Structure 1
Amino acid sequence: MGFRHYNQNQLVLFPHTFEDLISSEHPVRIVNDVLEKINISKLLSAYRKEGNPSYHPVMMLKVMVFAYMENIYSSRKIEKAMRENVLFMWLSNMNIADHNTIARFRSQKLQSAFKDIFTQVVLLLAEEGVITLKQVYTDGTKIEAQANRYTFVWGKSIQTNKEKMLQQLEELWTYAQSIASDEDTDPQPPEFKEISKEKIRQTVENINQKLSGKTTSDKGKTKAKAKLNYIKNNFEKNLEKYELQEEILKERGSYSKTDTDATFMRMKEDHMKNGQLKPAYNAQISTENQFILNYTLHQNPTDTTTLVSHLDNFKESYGQEVFSAIESLTADAGYGSEENYQLLEELKIEAFVKYNTFDKEQDEHYQNKHKTFSKEHLHYNREQDFYVCPMGQKMEKTHESTTKTKNGFIQKQSHYQAKNCSGCPLRSRCHQSKENRSIERNHNLERHKELARKRLKSEEGIQKRKKRCCDVEPVFAHLKHNHHFKRFILKSIKKVEIEFGLHALAHNLRKKVA
């Protein structure tokens, strides 16, 4: 039998090089070529001139991005790849960084510079013509944080505990009043509306004086003193703890003790398959042709309030000239709010954004059911500012009210009421109120919804709605299912922004290769 020559000790006149081992079209060469064109001045500012020489930041960046393209996210596994993988050896020119250096580069060195690097790569893609930066598709997804799922703090729980503390103080004060001697001149009773350290000290001191007075001894007094000692020893400490927790919470409703930046959000699927709440971040992306143009990480679970800061970040990253070139933005009903419609109108961006009832309105059964009696179908006289009920009665404006969103946007509501609904044969079908029927309308929102309805039903709108499903949503599918990015490995919102950015850049370079 004949075999090819095999001798591990055989010397060769011209040794093999990495150039012989790596094909000219391999993705690693694309990573190398693209990142060689990047301006790294912001990244260089993260290094100090003194001390031992550091690994070159371009080399570290290439290795990090290519590792994410290859689904290698652990710093120890990246170190191993630099020792054993020919592709990584070629990228690093045989330099081998230990896992601590790799971890520090990712979490610290890239912190202030990575968004600029990502933006430069996107602009290079635009120069090549694969994207235009004019048609934007936006969506969000929740990604689990690297935090304990069962060490949580709830804002409502803090409020409940503070109310219980107030209640216990009030009950003990009432008891002390009841057993005080008749000769005792009672101080003014404190107001038990809001708890504070001063309130606790003052109330404890007053109760202690009453319990120490000349009263008949009973078992109740002994229990009261025990409660007073517990309050004196624990309430101030507990209140201080709650104040620290509220400072961390700010506007949120919850956070995890092991990653205080993570908020508990209801995920579509979890490890127990029952949709329980888990600590997570809300990742927002804007795409075009399945390339990620911009990304932001948020602590609030709803998409509605994220669009303002997401677009602000888009503008900050690319500058006014590129941002003003955006012609349209397409998103699902999660973004359909007056604030978002108004923002896009002011930015002169055509909004193909659904509102919450748009899909229902396309159902013929829904239209027939709500055609006559719903407030959306009541006749409105714009000139004289009144509505007409199904029986032809005027519903005149009674007053106006305003509400403020979490982002500080002011919403204006107009209230209308019928004059006499008694004896109306349609009353039981028209409304269930014991009073005359009243409605409230946000005219600015209704105007935006009418414009959105026309856009979404146009030929261009139908095409945008179809393309949205196959433009932005597949990106999340690639990241989560094809590349196993279902949970962050870093903690704190600043670090997870870098981690998500590395996934986004790796995704764009994979798309470029494909």
Structure 2
Amino acid sequence: MKYQQGQDREQLHIFPMSMEAAISSDNEVRMIELFVESLDIKSLGFKVDHMENGRPAYHPKDLLKLFLYGYMNRIRSSRELEKETRRNIEVMWLLKGLNPDHNTISNFRRDNPNAIKKVFRATVALAKHFNLIGGKLLAGDSTKLRAQNSKKNNFNEKKIQRHLDYIENKLGEYEKQLAENDGDKEKEQELKQQIETQQQRKQSYENIQKQLVESGEVQVSTSDPESRQMITRNNITEVAYNVQTTVDDQHNIPIDYKVTNENDSKAMGDMLRRAKVIVGNNTFTALYDKGYHTGSEFEKAAELGVEVLVAIPAVAANAPDEAYNVEHFRYEAAGDYYVCPQGSELHTNGTWYQSKAAPFKQYKTPDCKTCPVRELCTTSIKNGKIVQRNKYVEYIEANKIRIQHNQNYYRRRQAIVEHPYGTIKRQWGFNYIMTKKSIKRASADVGLVFTAYNLRRILNIIGKEALRCFLVDFLMYIVVFWALLEHFWRMQKNQLQVSLEKSSCLEPKYLLI
């Protein structure tokens, strides 16, 4: 039977193939090359001024190209990227044969979180150029990405105390056994060793407890200090970071991201503020799920002039009969009182009470004492029905009306914002943070993920040829611009020289200036 035969490895070729010829003209690695070359690396914040002595540094553009290629091809490990520089013809072409080691590669990602975010912004600007950003309907949400910190190395006060109590019990057992020892030297030595080990563990947990008290945090992680244990789905928890994302509906392109270690309740206002700057106006509508339903955030949205549709969470406290839930009590703004379904007026003493959520006033009525339907309205024996009204209720009610009038509009939220998460976490497998030690380093990793996603998305939508033509033209514009600028400064320098030659400043006493 005949089979396809490969070439003889020892065969010499008269016309050997160059790396340039080995990379096809439509290979996406050429798009990465053109995209990075179109960036003003220095203005983005990458360090380009290095000391001349010693071994020359690698140019930030080369390392950025390597990372973008890696993330677009599901490679994030610096050691794996180092391997690719020696065995992958595409990477060899991209880096022109350079072989940075894994420490250099890793340090570049670690040291440039802010500059990487600006590279992501450049992909958003590129999408805007091709009219891929509608800017009319945005959706916001968050996703949890596991941190490089196990649950075992995450502690709160309750968990620390449980460990300390266990150690105290073990120490008591060992000391009792030591006291009852009948002279067995070997056993005595073993018990003393166990006591010393438990004392060391106790000291370790006490140090963590002290760190927890001094920081004022409710939990602390020892491997990645800024990561936190969070609920990822249902009642499953992971030590993770929470990544806030804003996505445009036209082509499901993320326009913003932020890595945090907090939940969603206070995130919406900041997301809207940044979205307003990115889009360039406040005429868009933003969609969020019920995790963002917070009064103070509605107030921020109103101050920004942005219309938001936020899912309404279920009522926390229901009456025995739902007909007597708070939403069925009518508020009279003129007199600042409520009217219950039975027609009684609930008044306030005007005092604002403080809570973690928001300041609120209480409304109640003495009519509850003789109300025939009291058992249907409240379970309180002493006070009767008490209605709380917080300072943001007007914004909350306005959102409720918008949701009721735009149910079909709101249903688009999940399809918009979950699209990037599905690709990044399920297809690419990027469901954890590659770096550790801080939010800044995690942000660099996430920034490269979203930059790679946007580049891939733009390539898939407009095609490689359209993107190549634009980037080539843009690079030509940059070359011409700098050539003209250099010519301008040369002319200015010549004109200055002529002026100096005609000036009396050429006297010896001025020549040292």
Give the AA of the match of 1:466: R
Q: Identity percentage over the alignment?
A: 26
- Contact (CA 8 Å) 1:338, 1:445: kept in 2 or not? yes
Paired residue for 2:243? Answer: 283
Paired residue for 1:511? Answer: 457
Q: String of CA shifts for 1:411-461, please: whole Å, max 9, x gaps.
A: 331211111323422111111111342323336533223322332233xx3
Quickly say closer, same or farther: Cα 1:237–1:43, change in 2 above 3 A. Answer: closer
Counterpart check, 1:305 vs 2:256: no
Out of 56, 60, 69, the residue aligned to residue 57 of structure 1 is: 60
Q: CA offset at residue 367 of structure 1?
A: 12
Paired residue for 2:226? Answer: 261
* Larger relative helix fraction: 2
Q: String of CA shifts for 1:108-162, please: whole Å, max 9, x gaps.
A: 2x23311112112211211121113443211001111101220222045579999
Paired residue for 2:148? Answer: 146
Moved more, 335-344 or 36-45: 36-45
Counterpart check, 1:499 vs 2:459: no
Counterpart check, 1:471 vs 2:416: yes
Q: String of CA shifts for 1:311-341, please: whole Å, max 9, x gaps.
A: 45x37xx9x4745456221111111111111
TM (norm. structure 1) is 0.73
Give the AA of the match of 2:223: T
Q: CA offset at residue 486 of structure 1?
A: 1.8
Out of 327, 343, 347, the residue aligned to residue 392 of structure 1 is: 343
Quickly say closer, same or farther: Cα 1:423–1:438, change in 2 above 3 A. Answer: closer
Counterpart check, 1:103 vs 2:54: no
Paired residue for 2:69? Answer: 66
Q: CA offset at residue 399 of structure 1?
A: 3.4
Paired residue for 1:350? Answer: 307
Paired residue for 1:120? Answer: 122
Quickly say closer, same or farther: Cα 1:422–1:71, change in 2 above 3 A. Answer: same
d(CA) in 2 for partners of 1:95 and 1:237?
Answer: 45
Quickly say closer, same or farther: Cα 1:259–1:494, change in 2 above 3 A. Answer: same
Quickly say closer, same or farther: Cα 1:40–1:2, change in 2 above 3 A. Answer: closer
Quickly say closer, same or farther: Cα 1:243–1:126, change in 2 above 3 A. Answer: same
Out of 407, 410, 428, the residue aligned to residue 483 of structure 1 is: 428
- Contact (CA 8 Å) 1:337, 1:355: kept in 2 or not? no
Quickly say closer, same or farther: Cα 1:468–1:368, change in 2 above 3 A. Answer: farther
Moved more, 326-335 or 57-66: 326-335
Paired residue for 2:94? Answer: 91
- Contact (CA 8 Å) 2:146, 2:238: kept in 1 or not? yes
Question: Runs of 5+ in structure 1 lacking a partner?
Answer: 163-233, 270-274, 361-365
Quickly say closer, same or farther: Cα 1:160–1:340, change in 2 above 3 A. Answer: farther
Counterpart check, 1:375 vs 2:326: yes
d(CA) in 2 for partners of 1:445 and 1:5?
Answer: 74
Off by >4 Å, runs of 4+ in structure 1? 1-5, 156-162, 234-241, 320-323, 366-369
Quickly say closer, same or farther: Cα 1:14–1:368, change in 2 above 3 A. Answer: farther
TM (norm. structure 2) is 0.74
- Contact (CA 8 Å) 1:135, 1:326: kept in 2 or not? no
> Is the partner of 1:398 in helix, strand or coil?
coil
Give the AA of the match of 2:455: L
Paired residue for 1:454? Answer: 401
Quickly say closer, same or farther: Cα 1:159–1:2, change in 2 above 3 A. Answer: closer
Give the AA of the match of 1:53: P
The residue correspondences of 1:397-476 to structure 2 (distance < 5 A) are 397-403=348-354, 405=356, 411-442=358-389, 444-458=391-405, 461-476=406-421
Q: String of CA shifts for 1:250-282, please: whole Å, max 9, x gaps.
A: 34x21221111111112228xxxxx54321111
Q: String of CA shifts for 1:8-46, please: whole Å, max 9, x gaps.
A: 444444332334333333322222222221121144436
Paired residue for 1:31? Answer: 32
Give the AA of the match of 2:41: I
Number of equivalenced pairs: 419
Paired residue for 2:509? Answer: none
Paired residue for 1:201? Answer: none
d(CA) in 1 for partners of 2:25 and 2:280?
Answer: 36
Give the AA of the match of 1:339: S
Q: String of CA shifts for 1:222-272, please: whole Å, max 9, x gaps.
A: xxxxxxxxxxxx999987763333334x34x21221111111112228xxx
Quickly say closer, same or farther: Cα 1:235–1:474, change in 2 above 3 A. Answer: closer
Paired residue for 1:45? Answer: 47
> Is the partner of 2:242 in helix, strand or coil?
strand
d(CA) in 2 for partners of 1:3 and 1:160?
Answer: 67
d(CA) in 2 for partners of 1:451 and 1:6?
Answer: 73
The residue correspondences of 1:237-252 to structure 2 (distance < 5 A) are 242-248=209-215, 250-251=216-217
- Contact (CA 8 Å) 2:328, 2:341: kept in 1 or not? no
Aligned residues: CA RMSD = 3.3
d(CA) in 2 for partners of 1:46 and 1:94?
Answer: 20
